[in-house]
Amino acid sequence: MQYPKIGIRPTIDGRWGGVRESLEEQTMKMAQAAADLISGSLKYPDGTAVQCVIADTTIGGGVEAARCAEKFAQEYVCATLTVTPCWCYGTETMDLNPHTIKAVWGFNGTERPGAVYLAAVMAAYAQKGLPAFSIYGHDVQDADNHEIPEDVAQKILRFARGAVSVGWMRDKSYVNIGGVSMGIMGSFCDMSFFQKYLGMRPEWVDMTEIVRRITLGIYDEDEYNKALTWVKAHCKEGYDCNAGKTLPEIVTKSKVVPAEKDWEFVVKMTLIVHDILFGNPKLADKGWHEEALGKNAVAGGFQGQRNWTDWLPNGDFMEAMLASTFNWNGAKAPTPFATENDTLNGVSMLLGTLVSGTAPCFHDVRTYWSPEACERVTGIKPEGSAAQGFIHLINSGATALDATGAAVDQNGTHCMKPFYEMTDADIEACTAATDWCRANYEYFRGGGFSSHFKTQAEMPVTLLRLNIVEGVGPVLQIAEGNTVVLPGDVHDTLDQRTDRTWPTTWFVPRLTGNGAFRDVYEVMANWGANHGVTVYGHVGAELITLASMLRIPVSMHNVPEDRIFRPHAWAAFGTADLESADMRACSAYGALYR
């Protein structure tokens, strides 16, 4: 696999005869330290350490800059980090490749004017229309101090994480299985957006392809048997809301797959959709060479409702297992995969997973519960984290099982983890915390199963959503906050007012007292769509950095100002109202892939 790499460019004062020679060692040590920091701290979505490429020599002028660019072009470098402890010749040493994302770390020391070069090259980048990130330590360092200060390290990693995310998406596919679900606008896949902002290729596969592969046996039988055995052992069935109901004939005659065959059907669906996305060489062994290739996907979605679910088992099991950090084979990388083929929520899942490394959890942003409404309905006034109200995140059984919060870290604290940290005990805990309820036949005539659980721990999470607004373009919304655990009787009363067969997460955003984060109600009122995604941790700052690289403005967030890291040129669009400045900057520069 060709991994997107970070290119490290050690720039130097080009004057030979004492100046350049005296700086060679210090400059190359800066480059090596930056590479070690990035590779030792960050991983690609498949768990491999992020790779860096260092220029063969320091760069004192245009010839060496060109040699560096030639090397980087052969190494699939998606972003460059220029490092220097000194003055350099700005326009002669800068990275002029319009296709790389750029940052410059200027050493804060008194011996040489690294800060002067940093300021000069930032001005050059701005004037040339090439936005670059400026990295400069808060405190002066001694020239022989090769440690990377914490504030510098944080900015380098935030830049590198965002840049690698951009590179990981580039030239991959988003696979639409089906089309538009129930008139949901996010299901209308905007090809231009994917191409211009993400560098991705949208592809479409009719849902009948799944039926074809089931009918003709285009899947790995050994894998199917293994998966079905695991399901029977670990996926316990829960509440059946259809029991005792007298259903109309239009519903009963639509259940063409017998209920006792639902598990077999949905397991085959899961294997087949994974093969459609990523390919499977074992299909070639069976003579299905085209199908073995897959679609080079990085994310996708499944329409389901209603052309599929009106007569066939729903996709909830498939969607939940694809998005989770494990399956019958143990720990595995999560796949951002959108319910109802909401492509904009699918992209939100992708962005959230890229910056957090954790499973993307698909939700309906369903209900705001004020303290007063909660007390009226349950007789109990919420306390603690939920005291100012909370939002009910729930969807039709397709949320990643990681959202149970059943996994624990080394201290025994409940959390969500990257897949490469998931243990067998974590996987067992997540499956034990989940039961699978038969789909409500009145809504899903074809049957199937929905994952059912409640998030059982208070955890830091970030809620996000990408929207497209006519006249503005794509915009991102971010709400850092926490999951909350309600008392059992309060949870049961509120949860059963909606579909009790679906998974529930109670969410409280961190409030700022201003704007959309004045209170919990305002967050709900300003949310741009019926869907959203949570990922583990407070990663709003990482999302803001990534969004600025893609030229997607962030229209709503509660990230503290001192954590926001955008290209230096953004300051030219205003420093008082940063959201407005972000809008203007993204509009001026336009999509990343024009």
Active site residues: 340, 364
Cis peptide before 306 (omega within 30 of 0): yes
Closest Cα partner for 533 from 404, 350, 369?
A: 350
Sort strands 473-484 and 554-556 into parallel, antiparallel or unpaired: parallel
- Please state, in angstroms and rounded to a whole number, the distance separating the CA atoms of residues 108 and 116: 10
Both tokens of 333, joined, read 């990388």
- Please state, in angstroms and rounded to a whole number, the distance separating the CA atoms of residues 193 and 181: 19
Both tokens of 115, joined, read 């800060």
Sign of CA dihedral 108, 112, 116, 122: negative
User: Partners of 437 in the beta sheet?
Assistant: 450
The answer to whether the CB of 121 falls within 8 A of the CB of 84 is no
Q: Is 576 exposed, middle or buried (0-12, 13-18, 19+ CB in 10 A)?
A: exposed
Residues in the chain: 594
User: Partners of 133 in the beta sheet?
Assistant: 103
**Which SS3 state, helix, strand or coil, does residue 475 take?**
strand
Q: Is 270 exposed, middle or buried (0-12, 13-18, 19+ CB in 10 A)?
A: buried
CB atoms near residue 74 (< 10 Å): 8
What residue spans of 365-487 are helical by DSSP H?
Answer: 371-378, 424-432
Q: Which residues of 218-257 are buried (b: 16+ CB within 10 A; e: fewer)?
A: bbbeebbebbbebbeeebeebeebbeeeeeeeebeebbeb
The answer to whether the CB of 104 falls within 8 A of the CB of 82 is yes
Find tokens 């109990």 and name the residue.
Answer: 380
